[in-house]
Copies of this chain bind each other. A is one copy, B any other.
Amino acid sequence: MNFLEARISQDGIVKEGNVLKVDSFLNHQIDISLVREMAYEWQKRFNGKKITKVLTIEASGIGLAAIVASIYNVPLLFAKKSKTLNLDGDLYQASVESFTHKTTSNIVVSKKFLNEDDYVLIIDDFLANGCALQGLISLCDQAKAHVQGIGIAIEKGFQDGGKIIRDLGYQLESLAIIDSMDAKTGTIKFRN
């Protein structure tokens, strides 16, 4: 069991409907020391790969991705969930379904900040069906940016997002892969 799996076992709360609450350390309150350790672990796993930008999606991935960008000393770009008054019309767009919120949203990045000179590390907190990730990959593809790797905190291994992304040939590094959870007993089984 690695440091993140240990923390999930200790502080994660399993709810009905395969919901895992990690609000106390990852996506409401963020334990910065833990996230720093995660960032160093990703840096080790993506060792030698050229990274010029970290890309994530608002909102809960931003804290994680900011620490990773800080350790790589590169800019952070976060995809926004809808077009706001403060964004130009010149956008790359993709459609994303949210498992948590039961909604479909449009995610966008400005064309000014993503292009063929970017070597991108995608960071997010959760991977389930892979829709958010496929949206982020699509934004990179539209921009002809190079997806160098994908770092995920927690992958729900019993959903098919991870398999889909790996089958596409991406280096996907999930720090904790959950094979099953039981809300009644609170048990979480991690993949070896």
Q: Taking beta carbons and an 8 Å cutoff, which residues of A are in contact with B?
A: 15, 17, 19, 21, 23-24, 27-33, 35-36, 58-60, 62-67, 69-70, 73-78, 80-81, 84-88, 100-102, 109-110, 112-113
Q: Which residues of B contact A59 (CB under 8 A)?
A: 58-59, 62, 78, 80-81
> Which secondary structure characterizes the binding site on chain A?
mixed
Report whether B33 and A80 are in contact in the complex, using a CB–CB cutoff of 8 Å: no
User: What's the least CB distance linking A88 to chain B, in Å?
Assistant: 8
Assembly of this chain: how many copies? Answer: 2
State whether A36 and B113 are in contact (beta carbons under 8 Å apart), knowing that A29-B76, A59-B58, A63-B62 are contacts in the complex.
no
User: What's the least CB distance linking A192 to chain B, in Å?
Assistant: 27
